[in-house]
Structure 1
Amino acid sequence: MIFSVLIISFIFLIRHYAVKHIRGDIAFLTEDQRKWISRTKNGSFTVIVITLFILWQSEINEFALSVTAIAVAIVVASKEIILCFTGSIQRASSRSFRIGDWIEVGSLCGEVIEHNMMATVIQEIDLHHGQYDYTGKTATLPNSMFFTYPVKNLNFMKRYVYHNFSICVKEFVNLYPMIPDLLHKIDTHCEDFIDVARRYNSVIEKHAGVDLPGSEPHIHITTTSMGDQKVHYMIFCPTEKASHLEQLIRQDFMEMYESNFPQKTE
């Protein structure tokens, strides 16, 4: 027992100094640093498990024989732990994501900052409100969730994203003549990055093997159940500019609507 404690303490001490060396003095970790920190922690855990198993092998064999009668009860009691281990194996074998990827599991979205045999840690991102900003919250997902919820890899959204939003118009007027001018306004806002967007969109199509909507802006008009008109926008833009571009496009629409239908604003 004393020898086991000494071994664990020694390995944890080495891991502490290794992680401290990898982290350095910088305030924000890079993706490579996170990968090496995760490898160091997982590697030290594996070494501890193997060492303790070798050290306690004879005691483990005797214990295994003594608990044969209650093996079923142990499996039931440790079901969640077993699911976490098998979920980790499933993640590793399917290569569904790695450190630095953006993923969505259930209602949680975020960037993977660490994963081990039991859980995956993500830095939460506010994707559901179209902001694409970090919320400052860290979520720890048990690996058993990978059997309950589909894992969506959103890694391509780190650079460019299909940003969707809508504008509701209460008055029923003919909005279709405004569409060409609205598209021209969007082209003006996107001219700085449109060439890069087209190339990146082509890369995503080749990687995914599907025909995506494309990098050009799309506008279509629908009607709600209350009879109001709804103008739907979809733009392909840099993720960090999505929210700002949405505000510019909303401003263009309101100014154009006020100019074309001045009597409706009275």
Structure 2
Amino acid sequence: MLLAIDAGNTNIVFALVAIDGEMRTIRARWRIATDPRRTADEYAVWLSQLLALEGYERGDVEGVIIATVVPRALHNLEVLATKYFRTTPLIAGRAPVEWGMTLDIDEPGSLGADRAVNTIAAHALHPGDLIVIDFGTAATFDVSDYTGAYKGGIIAPGINLSLDALVTAAAKLPRIAIEAPATTSVVGRNTVDQMHIGIYWGYVAMIEGLVARLKAQVGRPVKVIATGGLATMFETHTAVFDHIEPDLTIQGLAMLWQRAHID
């Protein structure tokens, strides 16, 4: 069993993945708030309890792979793997699990690990020209061509960041839940409704507008793949997504781990 770890700016996702040939099955997944100060011992206590609840134990984990965009969190995750799972973890983007794709951008070293992993997984699952949208702390739009080469993309504020900025800067505005408005009307009759409309439909308009511009620039048929926890919330109110892959990053990490062991 593989323990795949995706350390993002807001949360760290741990996923237990069973691999059988080309089949990658996620047996369990857990999420914890990202805190670089959290020690390997703390992770181990938490994970051991969750593994037991799912009927597993630490000995069932045969390998660990980590992708992180939070460098300060990496050391304790590596210690977790070596001390408690008795294995040397693979770090996505480092030998022997380099990306294995062309990075056709000005600063290849600045590409976030999650974005690279998403591109690898998306291309394996959906060949062709792609736009991969990941709804995380930031909303990222990543473009790859039919050869799998990474061509660049867009970074925009995540919807929660947008709401936080709005509420923080405007003293009289209340904090609201991130959800679709009750109707499709874009004329709000009260403050809360107007905020829901501005946040939700404004975000949908941003997604559709940026995708339209990206497609026009690519100039060929493009499939749009969405991932991240909020992807399904937008799915029913826009036709811009061709596929939703909620576990794209974890799938990509499992693919990288397989590649390292096959090679």
The bucket for the TM-score relative to the shorter chain is under 0.3
**Relative to total residues, which structure has the larger helix share, 1 or 2?**
1
User: Given the two structures, how large is their TM-score scaled by the length of structure 2?
Assistant: 0.22
Give the greater-gyration-radius structure (CA): 1
User: Given the two structures, how large is their TM-score scaled by the length of structure 1?
Assistant: 0.22
Structure having greater relative contact order (Cα 8 Å, sep ≥ 6): 2
